[in-house]
Amino acid sequence: METPNLPYLAEYSKSGRAGCKQCKKGIDKDTLRLAVMVQSPFFDGLAPKWHHFDCFFVRYHPRNVGEIKNYEMLKYDDQKKIDEMLMKKQVPETQKNNRKRKVKVNTSQDFFVEYSKSNRAACISCTEKIEKDEIRIGKLDDDSDEARRIGPFKRWFHVDCFQNNCDDLGFISSVESLNGFDALKSADKKKLQKKILSSSKIVKSQTKVEEDEKQPKVEENCVKKESNKEEKALKKQSDLIHRNLEMVKSLAKNQIYSFFIENGVEEKNIPDDFSCRKEFLADALVFGWPRSCDKCGGCFIFNVWRYVCSGNYDEWTRCTNEMENPPRSKVKFFDDKIRDKFKYKFIKRQRLVNEMFKSKYQKNLLEKQIKQSQIKNEPSDNDEQEKGVLSGYIITYLGKEKLVSVKNKIEKLGAKYRNEINPTILCVVSSENHWHSLKKTKKIKTIEEMNIPVVSEDFFTNVSNPTISVQKALLDSKITFWDLDEDEITKRLEKLNSVSNIKSAFKSGSGKSQSKSQKVVIKDGIAVYPESELQDSAHVYKKGNDIYSVVLNLVDVNTNKNSYYKMQLLQNDKNDHLFFLFKSWGRIGTEIGNTKLENYYNLGEATDAFKRSYFERTSNHWSNRHNFVKHPNSYYPVDIDYNDTKETSQVIKVEESKSLLPLQVKELIALLFDIQNMKRTMMEFELDLEKMPLGKLSKKRILEACETLKYISDLLERKPIPQNELVGACNKFYSLVPHNFGMEKPPLITSSNMISTKNEMLESLLEIELAYEIISNNENSNTTEDALDFNYRKLKSEIIPISRNDDDYKLIEKYIQNTHAKTHNVYTLEIINIFRLNREGEAERFAKFADNPNRMLLWHGSRLTNFVGIISQGLRIAPKEAPATGYMFGKGVYFADSVSKSANYCYTSYDNSIGLLALSEVAIGNSKELINAEYVDKLPKKYQSVKGIGQSYPNPEEMVITADGVKVPLGKMINNTNLMRASLLYNEYIVYNEEQIKMKYLIQVRFNYKNLF
């Protein structure tokens, strides 16, 4: 199991080649060197910036030795040297001066005070601007990613914000110790001394400590003796380990390898890293050979405070097994001469551990990550599910209580804390006295202008009471509501609730860096990677069906790996004997990475080099790639389909079409077959379009990802959750469907909410794959046929626009107006076109249900990109490979009698406001009525559907029944007074047989989003 990525590294220089980044001089071999770990710009991983010991501490200040990787493997004296450097920074010095004892208050290297030089800087705590000439206090940041990359820099705080965060910032000194304090005006010095702990208090505290030290304390003396005893034992142990390590270093590589074989370690389980092998052997010579891991057969290697397995649980997962004291046995020597040279004698010992490390890392880090992720992700964004009482709301705070404590209270109630003031904030929490003592700053004026309610801290207690509504809790805790009355508070809550409910519609993508747009040249059906700069002069080499082009990826959620490796063998367009092997590697979705281009003048040498690189990365021979076997720590191929003869990038222009189809239909076809819209959808899901390009998606690969997600869902049901299996399954899932996380760590999938989100992604991918397959299918085409006519024919449906004067149009228009739910008031729906839809063969399939007495005209909404598949193949049930999570009533086709409930599933936005809704005749028959979630795998014979009962529904007295007996529930929405505690806000209808559906209408709508405030 890997340790977390630590910000610093210590070791003995392996050669004399490295230079110090501070003084620019060389670092001699075998001397102690320290590094700050920074993200490499050339590969997906951290790289060390090496420093001499003294040079390192000029620039960097680890908070404790727990941040320094490999510290525990250093010689004891070198550990003490590091300890002393850290203590110099942290511990105040005392000295005697004549008769009086004084505290020499250190001027801290890390903290500063000054008058703000401009108004450009913002406070790190509250994010508000710090005005020019205002007193600001800064802390030197030397351990963030940015600081490790460019060097330490100052982060600034308002005085009050600094005071509130003193403990978290590690400020243990006095205000007088701040760099720059002496340069302040006398009045400002006094203000600071009142606000922040003064040196007199420190002196008093220190004097008390010193007086206490004068008094003999038997217990403390005993502890001190015990501590000295432990120090001596640790030093003795360290010296013994390093003596053995020096002897091990004298051995050849093959001799060290032979030790592992002689002691029963299989070749596959021998640690890859040679330094690791040497340290393992030195440990074994001192303490005995540790038993192999009972889960994977790997070797237990000492790491920080315990022994961790270096093996692999399976092809996808590093083993997470660890032990404090693994069982040991006598080391077996393959050569008696070496035993005699080492003077080996087996003595049963137990490795002593620095207690500081043990307390810091005692918690299994992976287990902790799983629990944190579950807590973070478990509440669902679905507006129908139970959440925290304040879920979806945002709260800000102005008061004297510690911000960390307030944030915890807010988050426990399901809300989020934000400091910046905007109209989406539910309320400002403060105290009566503090609020009225505040000056009327710009922030306070903004709160007043936006009419944001200000309430006391009693609000937290009141709203926690299940018998008190959010509205009543606000009213009971009121400090000021400005100009708002009780009714306006209610309206404000409704608006904020609407924003929360459809927030997924406003999702703007990952926010991570995207690849730059580059010209892609397709030659013989294969794109030449533009990074090679050979797209205009070379093509990908093919031999029969063998295409010498691969995309590989490697994902590890434990070690934050999300790497790609691309490779192409290119042949010059004009010279058949000139070849280029192009390689590209890095981190998915970022600029991190590098390329390499190799020239070859012989085909055999070129293909050999390609195959050799393929084997090095995958541990599979190129000739066996069609029977690929995943190996631990090796790359996995992204499934690319090379069957297309050209890239489908058609842009259908209605105005240039000669089709005789009605204009409304032509515009609909152009909308349905919009390639750019499909790409936007993929980017919303943080998918990597470069490694998994549109149109190259393999249905087999997507279904395999569905099965993996289903397996993850099953793992989450187990208690405790099996860590190895979960990590492996997540690694596999992200390998099957490459994601763009930017620099963020690939997240463990640990909650039902995450399962649902990924399942929705896979369903959309299946629809896009189907749509692209239909778009790319050029069978039975002729060169003279108009593109719009050709694509219309692929849908295998008759699509007829309906006039606004038609009775059906008016019926549907009324259905939309009446059933738009009040909680979905962030947008209105504007009808663009209504089409009558006759799918090929669907009427005949539905004929057996034509006499069903309970047939209803119901809504179904979906992403625009899904409608090519929906129209051509009908509404379908999720595949068996998909996990059950996310389906409230099991896998079926879901409908609603509220237009806006279905419209929310169109996932439109301000920028992409056009959506499609389907109205279908559904043979509901006898429904099993439910008010709470219940997974339905198979309906009892007496039922033909499930009806989820909502808190609101269309007035049944206004229902219309058509001439052919279909019920249209178009009445105005009314409350279900008997079931106000139902899980659903609005009705849902689910059928489990696709033959019970006959699609009748397509409604093209524009979502007109309101400015709520």
| pLDDT, tens digit (0-9, with 9 covering 90-100), for 61-96 | 887 887 888 888 899 999 999 988 888 755 434 333
- The lowest-confidence range among 40-54, 279-293, 691-705, 813-827 is 691-705
Within a domain: 514: no
Neighbouring CB atoms inside 10 A of 887's CB total 19
Q: How far apart are CA 845 and CA 838, in angstroms?
A: 12
Alpha helical stretches, state H, 737-877:
752-776, 787-794, 807-818, 842-846, 867-873
| Mean per-residue pLDDT, 867-874 | 92
Q: How far apart are CA 546 and CA 953, in angstroms?
A: 60
953-960 long-range Cβ contacts below 8 angstroms, 24+ apart: 953/897, 953/898, 953/986, 953/987, 954/818, 954/819, 954/897, 954/898, 958/818, 960/811
Residue with structure tokens 């004026």? 445
Q: How far apart are CA 526 and CA 523, in angstroms?
A: 5
Q: Are residues 237 and 351 in the same domain?
A: yes
Give yes or no for residue 779 having a pLDDT over 90: no
Tell me which residue of 534, 525, 621 sits closest to 570, measured CA to CA.
534
Instruction: Put the strands of the sheet holding 322-323 in their side by side order.
Output: 300-303, 306-309, 322-323
Tell me which residue of 821, 808, 811, 809 sits closest to 972, measured CA to CA.
821
- Name the pLDDT band for 155 (thresholds 50, 70, 90): confident
Rg (CA), the chain: 34
Return phi, psi of residue 204, to 5°: -60, -45
Return phi, psi of residue 300, to 5°: -85, 120
Give yes or no for residue 874 having a pLDDT over 70: yes
Q: Which two tokens stand for residue 366?
A: 């992976």
Give the residues across from 344 on adjacent strands.
none
Residue at a domain's end among 195, 214, 233: 214
> Catalytic annotation on 988?
yes
161 or 874, higher pLDDT? 874
Output the domain CATH number for residue 875: 3.90.228.10
| Mean per-residue pLDDT, 995-1013 | 85
Q: Are residues 870 and 970 in the same domain?
A: yes
The H or E element spanning position 563 is strand 561-572
What is the number of structural domains in the chain? 7
pLDDT score of 404: 80
Tell me which residue of 987, 900, 897 sits closest to 950, measured CA to CA.
987
pLDDT score of 519: 54
Give yes or no for residue 525 having a pLDDT over 80: no
Q: Are residues 701 and 728 in the same domain?
A: yes
User: Can you say whether the dihedral through the CA atoms of 301, 306, 312, 318 is positive or negative?
Assistant: negative
969 alpha-carbon distance from chain centroid: 42
Torsion, Cα 625 629 634 637, to 10 degrees, reads 50
750 in Cβ contact with 377 (< 8 Å): yes
Tell me which residue of 1006, 768, 793 sits closest to 866, measured CA to CA.
768
Q: Are residues 201 and 236 in the same domain?
A: no
Alpha helical stretches, state H, 91-136:
none
SS3 state of residue 826: coil
Output the domain CATH number for residue 697: 1.20.142.10
Tell me which residue of 530, 864, 822, 523 sits closest to 673, measured CA to CA.
864
SS3 state of residue 290: strand
pLDDT score of 829: 94
pLDDT score of 198: 45
Give the residues across from 36 on adjacent strands.
8, 49
pLDDT score of 380: 37
Return phi, psi of residue 1004, to 5°: -90, 120
Give yes or no for residue 14 having a pLDDT over 50: yes
Tell me which residue of 1008, 1006, 1001 sits closest to 806, measured CA to CA.
1001
What is the 8-class DSSP label of residue 40?
-
Q: Are strands 93-97 and 100-104 parallel, antiparallel or unpaired?
A: antiparallel
860 in Cβ contact with 920 (< 8 Å): yes
Within a domain: 370: no
Residue at a domain's end among 187, 214, 241: 214
pLDDT score of 393: 84
Can you give the length of the chain in residues?
Answer: 1013
Within a domain: 946: yes
pLDDT score of 664: 94
pLDDT score of 466: 65
Per-residue 3-state assignment (H helix, E strand, C coil) for 295-335:
CCCCCEEEECCEEEECCECCCCCECCCEECCCCEECCCCCC
pLDDT score of 760: 84
Output the domain CATH number for residue 86: 3.30.1740.10
Within a domain: 365: no
Give yes or no for residue 653 having a pLDDT over 80: no
- Name the pLDDT band for 361 (thresholds 50, 70, 90): low
pLDDT score of 589: 82
Tell me which residue of 729, 42, 745 sits closest to 737, measured CA to CA.
729
User: Could you list the residue range(s) of the whole structural domain that residue 923 is in?
Assistant: 795-1009
pLDDT score of 497: 60
- Name the pLDDT band for 230 (thresholds 50, 70, 90): confident
Share of the chain above pLDDT 70, in %: 82
Q: How far apart are CA 258 and CA 339, in angstroms?
A: 13
Give yes or no for residue 382 having a pLDDT over 50: no
Q: Terminus-to-terminus CA distance in the chain, angstroms? A: 51
Phi-psi region of 917 (alpha: psi -120 to 50; beta: other; left: phi over 0): beta
| Mean per-residue pLDDT, 299-312 | 89
Within a domain: 784: no
Return phi, psi of residue 761, to 5°: -60, -45
Tell me which residue of 903, 922, 898 sits closest to 999, measured CA to CA.
922
Give yes or no for residue 670 having a pLDDT over 70: yes
Phi-psi region of 907 (alpha: psi -120 to 50; beta: other; left: phi over 0): left
Q: Are residues 86 and 103 in the same domain?
A: no
Residues whose CB is less than 8 angstroms from the CB of residue 102 and which lie 6 or more positions away in sequence, other chains included? 94, 95, 96, 203
Q: Which two tokens stand for residue 277?
A: 């092998």
Tell me which residue of 682, 683, 768, 743 sits closest to 509, measured CA to CA.
683
Which range is most confident: 443-452, 714-723, 971-980?
Answer: 714-723
Give yes or no for residue 104 having a pLDDT over 50: no
| Mean per-residue pLDDT, 931-952 | 90
Q: How far apart are CA 54 and CA 148, in angstroms?
A: 17
Give yes or no for residue 376 having a pLDDT over 50: no
Q: Are residues 477 and 417 in the same domain?
A: yes
Residue at a domain's end among 637, 665, 691: 637
Read off the pLDDT of residues 636-646 as tens digits, 9 standing for 90 and up. Answer: 998 766 554 44
Q: How far apart are CA 971 and CA 960, in angstroms?
A: 8
SS3 state of residue 153: strand
- Name the pLDDT band for 109 (thresholds 50, 70, 90): low
- The lowest-confidence range among 36-45, 241-250, 440-449, 997-1006 is 440-449
Q: How far apart are CA 754 and CA 381, in angstroms?
A: 10
Q: Are residues 905 and 1001 in the same domain?
A: yes
874 or 516, higher pLDDT? 874
SS3 state of residue 489: helix
Q: Are residues 152 and 196 in the same domain?
A: yes
Q: Are residues 239 and 201 in the same domain?
A: no
Q: Are residues 823 and 953 in the same domain?
A: yes
pLDDT score of 303: 85
- Name the pLDDT band for 872 (thresholds 50, 70, 90): very high
Within a domain: 510: no
513 in Cβ contact with 591 (< 8 Å): yes
| Mean per-residue pLDDT, 371-386 | 42
Q: How far apart are CA 872 and CA 774, in angstroms?
A: 9
Give the residues across from 828 on adjacent strands.
1008
Within a domain: 25: yes
Mean residue pLDDT of the chain comes to: 82
Angle between helices 752-776 and 675-684 (to 10 degrees): 160
Give yes or no for residue 791 having a pLDDT over 80: yes
Q: How far apart are CA 405 and CA 394, in angstroms?
A: 16
Share of the chain above pLDDT 90, in %: 41
| Mean per-residue pLDDT, 130-139 | 89
Q: Are residues 683 and 710 in the same domain?
A: yes
Residue with structure tokens 């002393």? 84
Q: Are residues 288 and 424 in the same domain?
A: no
Give the residues across from 930 on adjacent strands.
948
SS3 state of residue 110: coil
Within a domain: 315: yes
Read off the pLDDT of residues 975-996 as tens digits, 9 standing for 90 and up. Answer: 887 776 677 889 999 999 999 9
Read off the pLDDT of residues 878-907 as tens digits, 9 standing for 90 and up. Answer: 888 888 777 889 989 999 999 999 999 998
Q: How far apart are CA 342 and CA 21, in angstroms?
A: 39
pLDDT score of 204: 44
Q: How far apart are CA 677 and CA 675, in angstroms?
A: 5
Q: How far apart are CA 362 and CA 406, in angstroms?
A: 28
Return the half-sphere exposure (C-beta side, CA atoms, 13 A cut-off) of residue 443: 16
User: Can you say whether the dihedral through the CA atoms of 921, 937, 698, 739 is positive or negative?
Assistant: positive
pLDDT score of 202: 43
Q: How far apart are CA 306 and CA 316, in angstroms?
A: 24
- Name the pLDDT band for 304 (thresholds 50, 70, 90): confident
Give yes or no for residue 294 having a pLDDT over 70: yes
Residue 271: C-alpha distances to residues 481, 556, 750 (Å): 66, 18, 30
pLDDT score of 780: 58
Neighbouring CB atoms inside 10 A of 700's CB total 10
Q: How far apart are CA 273 and CA 278, in angstroms?
A: 9
Instruction: Put the strands of the sheet holding 893-895 in their side by side order.
Output: 893-895, 988-991, 945-948, 927-930
Return phi, psi of residue 140, to 5°: -75, 120
- Catalytic residue selected from 279, 384, 531, 988: 988
